[in-house]
Amino acid sequence: MKELVETLAAWRAEGAEIGRAVVVRTFGSAPRPEGAVLLATADGRIAGSVSGGCVEAAACEEIRRAQATGRSRVVRYGITDEQAWDVGLACGGTIDVLIEPGVAEPLESAARAAASAGVTQGRAVVTPLPADSPGPEAGPYPPGEGEPPARELVAWEDGRLDGALGDPAAEAELVRLARESLARGTSRTVVLGGRSLFIESFPPQPRLIVVGAAQVAMPLVSMAHMLGYETIVVDARPAFATRERFPDVDRLVLGWPDEVAESIGMGPSDAVVVLSHDVKQDEPAIVAALARGCRYVGAIGSRKRQAARRERLVAAGARPEDLDRLRSPIGLDLGGREPAETALAIMAEILTARYGGTGQVLRDKSRVEAGRGSSAAPAPASDR
């Protein structure tokens, strides 16, 4: 949704009537994940995608119907293997798509914030699905007439909830599930109190803070930039922290990392990578990042040096339990040793931590899962 913010704003400025389709559940090898959005205007313009195939045309027809009736509904598109190529779904994939006659203000506001740099507070917009929506088990269902759009709830990353379900226990569980989705950067449908709720995640733009403008830092910043991260490089050495070395970086900060942590707003949403090989920069940066609860904290350094480093970090104020979160040596074992290869190994570990991945070879993972037998549960949208 956030990638459509500029289009949405332009259409709004023209006074266009805009409806929305969003994937709320997937089964099998669906080409687009939960949260994929298509916008359509009453005059026939579209932006975004829910499948990549002619399901788009069917979804646009449903949007026009919703705009005519003022009602929302969930439509299940199930495709046979023979139809899959023509329709844009892979190998009999099935998707549930929420069709809405308009774009609610909480969604538009959350998408704008998620697309803006410098926003540190994520939020999830929770949409109660129409009561006649299909259940989680794949298969045909009798289409209903839908309902007027439900009022959205907003669950914030700090635990606040705007709106109510009328059940404190369910609301607490909803906040927990929403924060979990925000941490992973994914959207999903959950069932609470017998009602299906679609949690649409709008985490802040992910941010990578690199301490030490070393050789590895240059390709690392470029990779992070391509992956949509806001990037900051911190170094006390002006000869290293230059635009010539880091043309893609969003911000260069000259100074000691523990002294600038407050000014750059280092916090729980950040990934911090420490690369300077200078104890005077590295260790204060590690202490600051762990103390501020950064989601990923990694530091370059050999395995045999970790015991001595740990003793120094504890002496500097780091809690032993926090040090268990420190990733050092840093990165996944990809086998490469060149700066760009090391950067790739680091970025791969950051993504694994962000999305809860295993770092396992997908071929081997597929073989293990095949050996366990098929499951009735839907396959994750990330299955490829």
Judge whether residue 143 has pLDDT over 70: no
Query: How many other CB atoms are there within 10 angstroms of residue 272's CB atom?
Result: 27
Instruction: Give me the pLDDT at residue 383, please.
Output: 31
What does the pLDDT look like over 297-344, one tens digit per residue?
Answer: 999 887 777 777 888 888 888 888 888 899 988 999 999 999 999 999
Delimiting residues of CATH 3.40.50.720 domain(s) in the chain: 207-355
The predicted model gives 256-283 an average pLDDT of 88
Judge whether residue 384 has pLDDT over 50: no
In 3D space, the residue among 92, 86, 103, 90 whose CA is nearest the CA of residue 48 turns out to be 103
What distances in angstroms separate CA 285 from CA 291, 297, 316, one per listed residue? 10, 9, 11
Q: Hey, which CATH number is domain 207-355, 3.40.50.720, 3.30.390.10, 3.30.2090.10, 3.30.428.10?
A: 3.40.50.720
| Structure confidence at residue 189 as a pLDDT band (50, 70, 90) | very high
What does the pLDDT look like over 23-61, one tens digit per residue?
Answer: 999 887 777 889 999 999 999 999 999 987 768 889 999
DSSP bridge pairs for 202: 123
Instruction: Give me the pLDDT at residue 301, please.
Output: 82
What does the pLDDT look like over 197-250, one tens digit per residue?
Answer: 999 999 888 899 999 999 999 999 999 999 989 999 999 999 999 999 999 999
Strand 251-254 to strand 270-274: parallel, antiparallel, or no bridges (unpaired)?
unpaired
Judge whether residue 147 has pLDDT over 70: yes
Q: Phi and psi of 322, rounded to 5°?
A: -70, -35
Rounded to whole angstroms, how far apart are CA atoms 184 and 257? Answer: 27
